[in-house]
Amino acid sequence: MIEVKKLVKRFGLKNILRGLNFSVEPGEFVALLGPNGAGKTTFLRILATLSRPSMGHVKVAGHHLPHEAAQVRAKLGVVSHMPLLYPDLTAEENLRFYAQMYGITNYQPRITEVLEMVGLENRRKDLVRTFSRGMQQRLAIGRAVIHDPEVMLFDEPYTGLDQDASEMLDEVLRTVAAEGRTVVMTSHDLARAENLATRFDILSRGVIAASATQEDLQNTNLLAFYKQALVD
Amino acid sequence: MDKNKIQKDELIPRAKRSSLSSRPSLLKATFAIVQKDLAAEFRSFELVSAMLVFSLLVIIIFNFALELDIKVRQSVTAGVLWTTFAFAGTLGLNRSMSTEKDRGCMDGLLLAPVDRSAIYFGKAISNLAFMLIVETIVLPVYSVLYNVNLFRLDLIGIILLGSIGYVAVGTLLSAMSVQTRTREVLLPILLFPVAIPVLLAAVKASNGLLTGADFAEVLIPLNILIVYDVVFIAVAFMVFDFVVEE
């Protein structure tokens, strides 16, 4: 579903990604972990078509980037630590706007379905600026799945959430993943990533330094694996 | 903890359901952006109220500063009007793009599978609507304060053409400046030199109409306005994709 070979991204003279190789099978939930400045957000922005690769081969949902970016965007849902929502519009109006931008014709039943999925059906007529951070983040996920994408990218979705909001977000993420979507999520919350993901890739100094599946971590835990990967 | 884990065999293979979405046309996407901007603005009135208060203050200050007789007032009207529109327009352009950038909504727009020109046209039409709303309120206030009749179809036509040109180039440049930390300062610095032809032509044409000059005298700035509008809309259509790309 995602195939990346020898990806290089430069900002000026600085190399952020240095020949990164990465692939994700359909239906996999990959947690992309790594220290600050490792290049996780840059990498996700390239997959999301928001940034161009300097060099290398990137293929998402069967389409090459950056040349087939529009086709990729139609199959992609992105959630970042910012909600990408308009505070002066209601939850329903925000979803309606994005439904129109994704060319969904009969959007009303889909909006209701998505609001029920993220548990905000009772707040559909409320302005987003009155929502808590957790509710905004749940609505942001609703926005990202409105067009039923095949691939979901989450960039630090837990940033700024309290425990209750994080647990509710876990449930929503689990629902999103259980619908068979391919998911790539960056996070610093190892415990949450361990519960959600089926594979863990450690991004360090612009390359994937280590990779392990859930089965590989039966006799160890993610924290130990993460620390070991960074030491190596 | 383990019971919360998503097991591989738990994942339902994605059924081949018919796709919910299709690539929307340029027109539909543009309309959606305009509708969204107008709905958000009519709820908050943040942008229009700032532009309007600024415009009214400017014409009141000019009214006190220029204690001129009726004849001279007529000759400065075009200059005062376009100075007001230009500065108020810059406020609106800055604010309109900042609301997209500050909460990451610009990324939301860029992630949609639409032709990126739709984002430009949507934002430009919204900006034009805000500018025209402000102008519609400023014109009668100016007419009363300066005792000049501005309700003339030909003058309104010139104001419309000038506003289109100003917004066409302003929306493009605000998309560039909003990506910098000094966007409030940068936009006027970038915009005013590029907008000089449209502002000069608009002042010249408006002045010609208000002082009762020959049509031939108005025709040259009018032509410049039309050419400027067409050229800058075409340029923005071609380069907007590169401007918003990281």
Sort out which chain A residues have CB atoms less than 8 A from B43's CB and list them.
88-89, 127
Asked whether residue A34 is domain-assigned, the answer is yes
How sure is the predictor about B8, in pLDDT bands with cuts at 50, 70 and 90? very low
Give the pLDDT score at B183: 82
Sort out which chain A residues have CB atoms less than 8 A from B39's CB and list them.
88-89, 93
Asked whether residue B12 is domain-assigned, the answer is no
Whole-Å CA distances, B100 to A140, B21, B95, B166, B178: 15, 23, 9, 20, 9
User: Alpha-carbon dihedral of residues A131, A132, A136, A139, nearest 10 degrees?
Assistant: -70
Beta-carbon separation of A100 and B32 below 8 A: yes
Q: How far is B164 from chain A (nearest CA, A)?
A: 25
Question: Tell me: the pLDDT tens digits for B71-95?
Answer: 777 778 899 999 999 999 999 999 8
How sure is the predictor about A165, in pLDDT bands with cuts at 50, 70 and 90? confident
Rounded to an integer, the average pLDDT of A173-191 is 84
Give the Cα separation of B226 and B163 in Å (integer): 11
Give the pLDDT score at B161: 96
Question: Tell me: the pLDDT tens digits for B9-33?
Answer: 444 344 444 456 677 889 999 999 9
Give the Cα separation of B67 and A180 in Å (integer): 74
Asked whether residue B16 is domain-assigned, the answer is no
Sort out which chain B residues have CB atoms less than 8 A from A43's CB and list them.
none
Give the Cα separation of B45 and B33 in Å (integer): 17
Give the Cα separation of A61 and A65 in Å (integer): 10
Beta-carbon separation of A89 and B21 below 8 A: no
Please state the domain count of chain A. Answer: 1
- In the stretch 111-150 of chain A, residues with CB closer than 8 A to chain B read 127, 143, 147-148, 150
Nearest residue to B172 via CA among B116, B132, B133 = B116
Q: What stretches of A29-106 show up as alpha helix (H) in DSSP?
A: 40-47, 69-74, 91-101
In this complex, how many residue pairs, one in chain A and one in chain B, have their CB atoms less than 8 Å apart?
138
Give the pLDDT score at B21: 66
Give the Cα separation of A95 and A142 in Å (integer): 8
Q: Say whether residue A104 is in contact with chain B using an 8 A CB cutoff.
A: yes
Asked whether residue A46 is domain-assigned, the answer is no
| DSSP conformation class of A152 | E
Residues 6+ away with beta carbon under 8 Å from B224: B197, B198, B201
Residues 6+ away with beta carbon under 8 Å from B101: B178, B179
Give the Cα separation of A82 and A133 in Å (integer): 10
Give the pLDDT score at A81: 83
Asked whether residue B78 is domain-assigned, the answer is yes
**Cβ-contact A5, A21 below 8 angstroms:** yes
A194: domain CATH number?
3.40.50.300
B188 is in which domain, residue-wise? 26-244
Q: How far is A70 from chain B (nearest CA, A)?
A: 5
Calculate what percentage of chain A has a pLDDT beyond 70. 100
Beta-carbon separation of B105 and A85 below 8 A: yes
Q: Indicate if the pLDDT at residue B232 is higher than 90.
A: yes
Rounded to an integer, the average pLDDT of A159-165 is 79
Beta-carbon separation of B20 and A76 below 8 A: no
Asked whether residue B94 is domain-assigned, the answer is yes
Asked whether residue A210 is domain-assigned, the answer is yes
- In the stretch 18-57 of chain A, residues with CB closer than 8 A to chain B read 26-27, 29, 45, 48-52
Nearest residue to B99 via CA among B51, B54, B36, B52 = B36
Question: Tell me: the pLDDT tens digits for A100-138?
Answer: 999 988 889 999 999 998 889 999 999 999 999 889 988
Query: Predicted ipTM?
Result: 0.90
Asked whether residue B37 is domain-assigned, the answer is yes
Strand order in the sheet with A207-213: A76-79, A151-155, A182-186, A29-33, A199-204, A207-213
Whole-Å CA distances, A188 to A31, A159, B57, B219: 10, 9, 51, 64
SS (H, E, C) A55-75: EEEEEECCEEECCCHHHHHHC
Asked whether residue A198 is domain-assigned, the answer is yes
Rounded to an integer, the average pLDDT of B171-199 is 91
Asked whether residue B15 is domain-assigned, the answer is no
Asked whether residue B103 is domain-assigned, the answer is yes
Nearest residue on chain B to A52, judged by CA atoms?
A: B246
Q: How far is A208 from chain B (nearest CA, A)?
A: 22
Give the pLDDT score at B10: 43
Asked whether residue A15 is domain-assigned, the answer is no
Asked whether residue A59 is domain-assigned, the answer is no
Give the pLDDT score at B147: 83
Query: Is the pLDDT higher at B9 or at B205?
Result: B205
Cis peptide before A66 (omega within 30 of 0): yes
Sort out which chain B residues have CB atoms less than 8 A from A49's CB and list them.
110-111
Nearest residue on chain A to B106, judged by CA atoms?
A: A84
Query: Which is it for strands A182-186 and A14-24: parallel, antiparallel or unpaired?
Result: unpaired
Give the Cα separation of B155 and A1 in Å (integer): 59
How sure is the predictor about B68, in pLDDT bands with cuts at 50, 70 and 90? low
Give the pLDDT score at B12: 39
Give the pLDDT score at B184: 83
Query: Is the pLDDT higher at A95 or at B68?
Result: A95
Give the pLDDT score at B246: 66
| DSSP conformation class of A220 | S
A84 is in which domain, residue-wise? 25-38+73-231
Give the pLDDT score at A89: 95
Strand order in the sheet with A2-11: A14-24, A2-11, A55-60, A63-65
Average pLDDT taken over every residue of chain A: 88
The pair of three-digit structure tokens given for residue B208, joined into one six-digit string: 């010609």
Rounded to an integer, the average pLDDT of B177-183 is 86
Asked whether residue B173 is domain-assigned, the answer is yes
A53: helix, coil or strand? coil
Question: Tell me: the pLDDT tens digits for A138-158?
Answer: 899 899 989 888 898 999 888
Please state the domain count of chain B. Answer: 1
- Chain A interface, best mutation among B12, B31, B36, by max A CB count within 10 A: B36
Give the Cα separation of B236 and B116 in Å (integer): 11
Beta-carbon separation of A98 and B108 below 8 A: yes
Question: Tell me: the pLDDT tens digits for B106-154?
Answer: 999 999 999 999 999 999 999 999 999 999 999 999 898 888 888 889 9
Q: Indicate if the pLDDT at residue B6 is higher than 60.
A: no
What is the C-alpha end-to-end distance of chain A, expressed in Å?
29
Choose the closest CB to B21 out of A26, A103, A194: A103
Beta-carbon separation of A74 and B23 below 8 A: yes
Sort out which chain B residues have CB atoms less than 8 A from A83's CB and list them.
103-104
Q: Indicate if the pLDDT at residue A38 is higher than 90.
A: no
Asked whether residue A183 is domain-assigned, the answer is yes
Question: Tell me: the pLDDT tens digits for A192-210?
Answer: 888 888 899 999 888 898 8
